[in-house]
């Protein structure tokens, strides 16, 4: 096995997802199959090969550091599940 | 012939000569939608009243001689991945079910500036993750050519709507084949431009180093006209490239004499569907007859493309999809007890489908401490090898000709429970995104079961013109684009 159920549950937690015990079981089996498939890349020697993070070579794109118009607070908040006094409102952070 | 059945180019001329109005055309499109949309489910959002009023406005502008351009008054469909100001944008996900963007994507703005009529927002695999459109949280789209078959994905709604004459042109996005595959399955044209050719601003992100916006058209020239309207640098997308946009229609000369067309050996493998293979080989012969020179080339790292893609795409997705947390927009589900961490988990678990959750978990794993070098970095290095394969092949030829999919469209439900099997069908399309190349689907035949088959044309970065040149010459010699689905 490339990946254990415990690892899947830990990674799910990192990604802020919940898994029921049955889902954790089936996800582990699927992921194991997929990770095994990824092993194929080990056949290739990639020492001294530069990684490609973007296919079209680009340098940093800069713009002038000037204040420009942006969304009105009301518009920015129009989709908020909960808001108060011009802010996004979230549940308590600690129990 | 009804107006909705005509091409963008034909309608553009008719509108210009005032042989029809945008209002008549838009009515014809909606008449068609009322007839067939309940069988196909290409759209997630439609607003006839809004479309008709945009059509009236387009007619008024034309009367006044304002905003005159080939797209003025043309009914267009948009994949539900593009942010549209005041119009719901869901990415076919429960997590964005009630999201109404306060701004337009740059490509939407560009189309609005040209006075198009927005017909509706089209169905897709949730967050563009899938090759069948069965991944939509709001139900699958059916292939207009055979209703129990997949329309391809993830831009399946945009391709199906176009092939069924429920719009005149449409937009999609392509991360690993999501324009080219549905174009092949639905027998329409579709191009994924070079990475950086079209702005991604306001396009909901899946895998940022691979995503690109592109159009679907009923013909090669229609597709060229649409790309012309959306291509170009955008200061709001720092990955868009400041480079002049050539005239794509003038590349459609019908002339391919002396052009070198490469057939990659690795894309015609034993075991692939014989009908697909012979349709693409017949297309190559057709181009040879028209004066092109055929030669065999090699892309030796082809067999590593799927693994590379399915590491890079979910890794980038896991980062992009972190924003859906129930705080600023979209779904919020209270946790138990309702503290912030539990709210995050409850929201994301309820809002994402199993396939999206699976890809987020794969991506989180391949980026996590201890595994980054073995998976993500390794895949990026292999990506370099894949890119070099193309650079070498393009030393010998101008354009590559390949199949789009290894098989004709398959039945809905066939691969939905076997993700690896579905991933493998992306074998011929993901390499183009990994290398950042432009790639186009052109219809090239039908199977014995009357299911569409498409061919793919690839070129060097920013050489979309060469693709249009070859595609148009082929289209001139054949009549696949004139066939209509038996609805």
The pLDDT tens digits of the residues spanning B45-98 come to 999 999 999 999 999 999 999 999 999 999 999 999 999 999 999 999 999 999
Omega of the bond prior to B16 within 30 degrees of 0, cis? no
Range of lowest pLDDT (B52-61, B367-376, B428-437): B367-376
- Give the chain B residue nearest A44 (alpha carbons): B382
Segment 33-62 of chain A within 8 Å of chain B by CB: 33-35, 37-38, 40-44, 46, 49-56, 58, 61
CATH code, domain with A22: 1.10.20.60
Which of A15, A51, A68, A93 is the best residue to mutate to test the B interface, defined by the most B CB atoms within 10 Å of its own CB? A15
Average pLDDT over residues A62-85: 93
> What local confidence, expressed as pLDDT, does residue A1 receive?
75
CA atoms of B307 and B327, how far apart (whole Å):
34
Is A21 a domain residue? yes
Smallest CA-to-CA distance from B214 within B276, B322, B98, B128 is with: B128
DSSP B20-57: S-HHHHHHHHHHHHHHHHHHH--EEEE-HHHHHHHHHH
For residue A95, is pLDDT > 90?
no
Owning domain of residue A15: 5-43
> What local confidence, expressed as pLDDT, does residue B57 receive?
98
Smallest Cβ–Cβ distance between A95 and the set B332, B339, B433 belongs to: B339
> What local confidence, expressed as pLDDT, does residue A35 receive?
94
The structural domain count of chain B equals 1
Reading the block at residue B64, the tokens are 């006044």
CA atoms of B482 and B478, how far apart (whole Å):
9
Owning domain of residue B12: 3-256
Q: Is A70 on the interface with B (CB under 8 A)?
A: no
Do the Cβ atoms of B145 and B172 come closer than 8 Å? Answer: no
pLDDT for B203-220, tens place per residue? Answer: 999 999 999 999 999 999
pLDDT for B241-292, tens place per residue? Answer: 999 999 999 999 999 999 999 999 999 987 789 999 999 999 999 999 999 9
Q: Exposure of B3 by Cβ count < 10 A (0-12 exposed, 13-18 middle, 19+ buried)? A: buried
Is A82 a domain residue? no
Residue B484 DSSP SS3: coil
Residue B414 DSSP SS3: coil
| HEC letters along A28-57 | HHHHHHHHHHHHHHHHCCCCCCCCCCCCCC
H or E stretch at A91: none
Is B312 a domain residue? no
Question: Beta A87-88 vs B260-264: how paired, if at all?
Answer: unpaired
- Alpha helices, H only, B83-200: 106-113, 156-163, 180-186
Is B461 a domain residue? no
CATH code, domain with B112: 3.90.1300.10
Residue B283 phi, psi (nearest 5): -65, -40
Does the predicted model carry a pTM greater than 0.90?
yes
Residue B485 DSSP SS3: coil
| DSSP designation for A2 | -
- The reply to whether residue A16 touches residue B344, judged by beta carbons under 8 angstroms, is yes
Is A37 a domain residue? yes
> What local confidence, expressed as pLDDT, does residue B227 receive?
98
Is B11 a domain residue? yes
Is A88 a domain residue? no
> What local confidence, expressed as pLDDT, does residue B271 receive?
74
Average pLDDT over residues B103-132: 98
CA atoms of B84 and B409, how far apart (whole Å):
31
Do the Cβ atoms of B272 and B427 come closer than 8 Å? Answer: no
Is B100 a domain residue? yes
Do the Cβ atoms of B316 and B366 come closer than 8 Å? Answer: no
- Give the chain A residue nearest B349 (alpha carbons): A17
Smallest Cβ–Cβ distance between B365 and the set A11, A40, A92 belongs to: A11
Is B243 a domain residue? yes
| End-to-end Cα spacing for chain A | 37
Do the Cβ atoms of B208 and B320 come closer than 8 Å? Answer: yes
pLDDT mean across residues, chain A? 92
Reading the block at residue A81, the tokens are 């599940």
Residue B432 phi, psi (nearest 5): -60, -40
Residue B216 DSSP SS3: strand
Is A38 a domain residue? yes
Q: Is A64 on the interface with B (CB under 8 A)?
A: no
- The reply to whether residue B345 touches residue A49, judged by beta carbons under 8 angstroms, is no
Residue A11 Cα, gap to closest chain B Cα (Å): 6
Q: Name residue, tokens 């809002």.
A: B351
- The reply to whether residue B338 touches residue A92, judged by beta carbons under 8 angstroms, is yes
Per-residue burial over B114-153, b = 16 or more CB atoms within 10 Å of its CB, e = otherwise = bbbbbbbbbbbbbbbbbbbbbbbbbebbbbbbbeebbbbb
Is A35 a domain residue? yes
What Rg value do the Cα atoms of chain A yield, rounded? Answer: 23
CA atoms of B186 and B197, how far apart (whole Å):
25
Q: Is A25 on the interface with B (CB under 8 A)?
A: no
The structural domain count of chain A equals 1
């Amino acid at each position: 096995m490339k990946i254990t159920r415990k690892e899947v549950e830990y990674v799910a937690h990192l990604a802020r997802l919940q898994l029921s015990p049955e889902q954790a079981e089936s996800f582990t089996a699927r992921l194991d199959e997929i990770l095994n498939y990824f092993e194929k890349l080990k056949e290739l020697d990639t020492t001294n090969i530069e990684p490609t993070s973007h296919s079209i070579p680009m340098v940093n794109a800069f713009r002038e550091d000037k204040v420009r118009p942006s969304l009105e607070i009301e518009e920015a908040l129009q989709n908020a599940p909960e808001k108060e006094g011009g802010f996004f409102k979230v549940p308590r952070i600690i129990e | 012939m009804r107006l909705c059945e005509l091409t963008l180019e034909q309608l553009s001329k008719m509108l210009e000569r005032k042989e029809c109005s945008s209002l008549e055309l838009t009515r014809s499109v909606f008449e068609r939608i009322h007839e067939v949309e309940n069988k196909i489910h290409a759209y997630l959002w439609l607003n006839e009243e809004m479309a008709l009023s945009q059509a009236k406005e387009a007619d008024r502008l034309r009367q006044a001689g304002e905003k005159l351009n080939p797209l003025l008054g043309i009914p267009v469909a948009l994949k539900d991945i593009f942010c549209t100001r005041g119009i719901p944008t869901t990415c076919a996900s429960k997590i964005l079910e009630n999201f109404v963007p306060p701004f337009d994507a740059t490509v939407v703005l560009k189309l609005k500036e040209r006075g198009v009529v927005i017909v509706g927002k089209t169905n897709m695999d949730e967050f563009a993750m899938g090759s069948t459109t069965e991944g939509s949280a709001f139900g699958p789209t059916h292939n207009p050519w055979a209703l129990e078959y997949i329309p391809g994905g993830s831009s399946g709604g945009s391709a199906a709507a176009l092939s069924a004459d429920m719009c005149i042109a449409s937009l999609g996005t392509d991360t690993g084949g999501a324009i080219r595959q549905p174009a092949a399955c639905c027998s329409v044209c579709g191009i994924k431009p070079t990475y950086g050719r079209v702005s991604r601003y306001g396009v909901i992100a899946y895998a940022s180093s691979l995503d690109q916006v592109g159009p679907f058209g009923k013909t090669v020239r229609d597709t060229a006209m649409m790309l012309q309207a959306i291509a170009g640098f955008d200061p709001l997308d720092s990955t868009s490239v400041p480079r002049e946009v050539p005239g794509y229609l003038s590349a459609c000369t019908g002339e391919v004499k002396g052009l070198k067309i490469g057939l990659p050996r690795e894309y015609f493998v034993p075991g692939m569907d014989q009908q697909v293979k012979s349709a693409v080989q017949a297309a190559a012969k057709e181009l040879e007859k028209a004066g092109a020179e055929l030669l065999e080339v090699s892309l030796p790292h082809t067999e590593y493309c799927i693994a590379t893609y399915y590491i890079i795409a979910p890794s980038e997705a896991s980062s992009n999809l972190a924003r859906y947390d129930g705080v600023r927009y979209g779904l919020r589900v209270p946790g138990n007890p309702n503290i912030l961490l539990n709210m995050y988990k409850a929201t994301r678990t309820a809002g994402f489908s199993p396939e999206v959750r699976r890809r987020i978990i794969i991506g989180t794993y391949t980026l996590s401490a201890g595994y980054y070098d073995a998976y993500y970095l390794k895949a990026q290095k292999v990506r370099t090898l894949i890119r070099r394969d193309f650079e070498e092949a393009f030393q010998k030829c101008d354009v590559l000709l390949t199949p789009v999919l290894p098989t004709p469209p398959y039945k809905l439900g066939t691969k939905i429970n076997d993700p690896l099997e579905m991933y493998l069908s992306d074998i011929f399309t993901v390499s183009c995104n990994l290398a950042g190349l432009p790639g186009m689907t052109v219809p090239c035949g039908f199977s014995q079961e009357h299911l569409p088959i498409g061919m793919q044309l690839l070129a060097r970065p920013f050489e979309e013109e060469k693709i249009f040149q070859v595609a148009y010459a082929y289209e001139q010699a054949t009549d696949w684009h004139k066939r209509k689905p038996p609805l």
